[in-house]
Amino acid sequence: MTTVQERRAAPPVPPAPRRSPAAAVLMALWAGAAAVIALWWFGTDSVVGTAGWLTGAGRIAGLLCGYACAVLVGLMARVPLLERRVGSDRVARWHAMAGRYTICLLLAHVVLILAGYAAQDHATLWHETVTVVMDYPEMLKATAGTVVLVAVGITSARAVRRRTSYEFWYYVHLLTYAAVFLAFGHQLALGNEFNGDLLATGAWYALYLGVAALVVWFRFLAPVRLNLRHRLRVESVHHEAPGVYSVVMRGRRLDELGAQPGQFFRWRFLGEGMCWTSTPYSLSAPPRPDLLRITVKALGDHSAAVPLLRPGTRVWAEGPYGSMTADRRTSHKSLLIGAGVGITPLRALFETLPGDVTLLYRARTAEDLALGAELEAVARWRGARLLYALNGPRGERPPFTVEALRGAVADLAGHDVYICGPHAFAQDLYQVLRAAGVPDRRIHHESFEL
């Protein structure tokens, strides 16, 4: 690791970290699940025989699946409290976990209910399946919703996700809304827990309508308001490193967005072939009242088209999102570790984080150091430390071990550490930092890989 700048930093600035509401949100979600089980318990007089036990278990799975669907959609609504205070990466993990729970509960519901009905009617499982789908109210729509939801689950599996484009995954994922809509009717039409119980029915409607309101407001109305108000357009495109480009966008009253260094927006460029995809990119410079900048590496169809953008192209933005900001600090000393294009949010933080700041930049070669000249200028201006970790002459990677990090950064355990880079890199680095004694509360990372 080579040191480019090493001067005494500014005097320590006491941070004022904000408590994350993550624990409270999780408690509320689990309390909702407990309330759903209580709904079945108090709405069921008795469970008799094999058919009764199978049907009862199927109803519990169905109720929990219906609740999980609402949670799943709510986590997709991009509510600022969750995206900025809890953290987009944590919300993404919750969403992925809720998705797995939803699919498992859905399959359990289908199998257990059909098996219970077949045992009750002394019929074959196939005959009972055809009867339920064709003759029961709302079941044709529910069956279509089930197929869609299972398809969304399959394409979200990590093994499948790696083999498909982001654009394909994104649009299939949006079908979750259609699946939940198609399945909603049969929950009330066939759920014994709702028959004649106005309070339970009202609560279920309130749950789904509340989640729908969040989606409509934060995913549709708020972005429309943002873009009509700020009118972003491409100002210029700049080559930074092999396959890496910066896009500067101009708009009106951008300081009113409340964006902070370290955050990201979802960007949709209204140019030829790019307007159908919305992709998250971090700000690579502190936001200005009239300008925003992102830096993008060509990794897919959308990012590869970024260099072709022309000045004046309209930009549709949603955000700002993310909690990897100065608000997360618990110490006056910060270590920023970026790999590849993960340097982009750290570039903005490197300029603005108060206190003693060190940036460690991992890249293959010196040619791959995007924004390197800017980083060196910032290091000289603020008296911060800038370290490079480049491959050796034979391509060997520099070690990211406990000893190497402690040797590069004194009092490593006393630093807040911000990480941004490929998922595997960040995971390995997290384990090394924990082994080096850095508390979990001081390791800050956002990953959008579900």
Least confidently predicted of 33-42, 117-126, 217-226, 386-395: 386-395
Residue 65: per-residue pLDDT: 95
pLDDT, the chain, mean: 88
- Whether the CB-CB separation of 417 and 406 falls below 8 Å is answered with no
Per-residue DSSP letter, 385:
E
Sheet strand arrangement including 443-445: 2-5, 385-390, 356-363, 333-339, 416-420, 443-445
Mean pLDDT value across residues 298-302:
73
Q: Who wins on pLDDT, 115 or 304?
A: 115
Tally of CB atoms within 10 A around 165: 13
Least confidently predicted of 132-136, 299-303, 370-374: 299-303
- In the structure encoding, which two tokens stand for residue 160, read together? 């499948």
Tally of CB atoms within 10 A around 274: 19
Residue 158: per-residue pLDDT: 78
Residue 6: per-residue pLDDT: 41
Confidence of residue 399 (pLDDT cuts 50, 70, 90): confident
Residue 106 has pLDDT above 90, yes or no: yes
Residue 11 has pLDDT above 50, yes or no: no
Confidence of residue 4 (pLDDT cuts 50, 70, 90): very low
- Distance in angstroms (rounded) separating the CA atoms of residues 272 and 276: 9
* Residue 363 CA to its chain's centroid (Å): 25
Residue 209 has pLDDT above 80, yes or no: yes
Confidence of residue 334 (pLDDT cuts 50, 70, 90): very high
Q: Who wins on pLDDT, 449 or 334?
A: 334
Confidence of residue 150 (pLDDT cuts 50, 70, 90): very high
Angle of helix 198-215 versus helix 166-190 axis, rounded to 10 = 160
Residue 7 has pLDDT above 50, yes or no: no
- Distance in angstroms (rounded) separating the CA atoms of residues 237 and 311: 8
Mind listing the pLDDT tens digit for each residue in 14-52?
Answer: 455 566 788 899 999 999 999 999 999 988 877 888 899
Mean pLDDT value across residues 175-189:
91
Q: Who's near 290: CB < 8 A, 6+ residues apart?
A: 250, 251, 252, 254
Residue 449: per-residue pLDDT: 52
Mean pLDDT value across residues 4-15:
44
Residue 17: per-residue pLDDT: 54
- Distance in angstroms (rounded) separating the CA atoms of residues 401 and 436: 9
Least confidently predicted of 32-36, 42-46, 124-128, 211-215: 42-46
Q: Who's near 447: CB < 8 A, 6+ residues apart?
A: 89, 92, 423, 426
Q: Who's near 401: CB < 8 A, 6+ residues apart?
A: 432
